[in-house]
Amino acid sequence: MKKIIPENFLWGGAVAANQCEGAYLEGGKGLSPVDILPGGIPVRKEALADVRKTIETTYDYYPSHVSIDFFHRYKEDIKLFKEMGFKCLRTSICWARVFPNGDDLEPNEEGLKFYDSLIDELIKNGIEPVITINHFDTPLELTKKYGGWKNRKLIEFYTRYCEVLFNRYKGKVKYWMTFNEINMILHIPSFGGGLVFEDGENREQCMYQGAHYQLVASALATKIGHEIDPENMIGCMLAAGTVYPNTCHPNDILIAQAANRENYFFIDVQSKGEYPRYSERLFEEMGIKLDITDEDRKILKQNTVDYIGFSYYSSRLKSADPEVMKNIKPGNAFKTLGNPYLKESEWGWTIDPVGLRVTMNDLYDRYGKPLFIVENGLGAVDKVEADGSINDDYRIEYLKLHIEQMKEGIKDGVELIGYTPWGCIDLVSAGTGQMSKRYGFIYVDKDDNGVGTLERSRKKSFYWYKDVISANGENL
Ligand code: P53
Q: What is the pLDDT of residue 167?
A: 98
pLDDT in tens, 18-76: 999 999 999 999 999 999 999 999 999 999 999 999 999 999 999 999 999 999 999 99
- Any atom of ligand 1 within 6 Å of the Cβ of 17: no
Task: Please tell me the total number of residues recorded for the chain in this structure.
Answer: 476
What percent of the chain is modeled with pLDDT above 70? Answer: 100
Mutate to test the pocket of ligand 1, among 422, 427, 435, 448 (most ligand atoms within 8 A of CB): 422
CA distances 56 to 33, 36, 38, 47, Å, are 13, 9, 13, 11
Domains and CATH numbers, the chain: 10-470 (3.20.20.80)
pLDDT in tens, 158-203: 999 999 999 999 999 999 999 999 999 999 999 999 999 998 999 9
**Whole-number Å distance between alpha carbons of 276 and 196:** 27
Q: Give yes or no for a contact between 215 and 223, defined as CB atoms under 8 angstroms apart.
A: no
Q: Where are the beta strands (DSSP E) in 85-166?
A: 88-92, 128-132
Q: What is the pLDDT of residue 1?
A: 60
Q: Is the pLDDT of residue 297 over 80?
A: yes
Q: Give yes or no for a contact between 102 and 141, defined as CB atoms under 8 angstroms apart.
A: yes
For residue 16, the ligand 1 atom closest to its alpha carbon is 21
Ligand 1 geometric centre to CA of 428 (Å): 10
> Can you give the pTM of this predicted structure?
0.98
pLDDT band at 80 (very low <50, low <70, confident <90, very high): very high
pLDDT in tens, 408-458: 999 999 999 999 999 999 999 999 999 999 999 999 999 999 999 999 999
- Any atom of ligand 1 within 6 Å of the Cβ of 422: yes
Mutate to test the pocket of ligand 1, among 312, 329, 334, 429 (most ligand atoms within 8 A of CB): 429
> Where in the sequence numbering do the catalytic residues fall?
181, 375
For residue 430, the ligand 1 atom closest to its alpha carbon is 13
Ligand 1 geometric centre to CA of 302 (Å): 31
Q: Which helix (H) or strand (E) holds 71?
A: helix 70-84
End-to-end CA distance of the chain: 16
Q: Give yes or no for a contact between 9 and 403, defined as CB atoms under 8 angstroms apart.
A: no
Q: Say whether the peptide bond before residue 42 is cis (omega within 30 degrees of 0).
A: yes
For residue 334, the ligand 1 atom closest to its alpha carbon is 3
- Any atom of ligand 1 within 6 Å of the Cβ of 134: no
Residues forming beta bridges with residue 456, ordered by sequence position:
444
Q: Which helix (H) or strand (E) holds 78?
A: helix 70-84
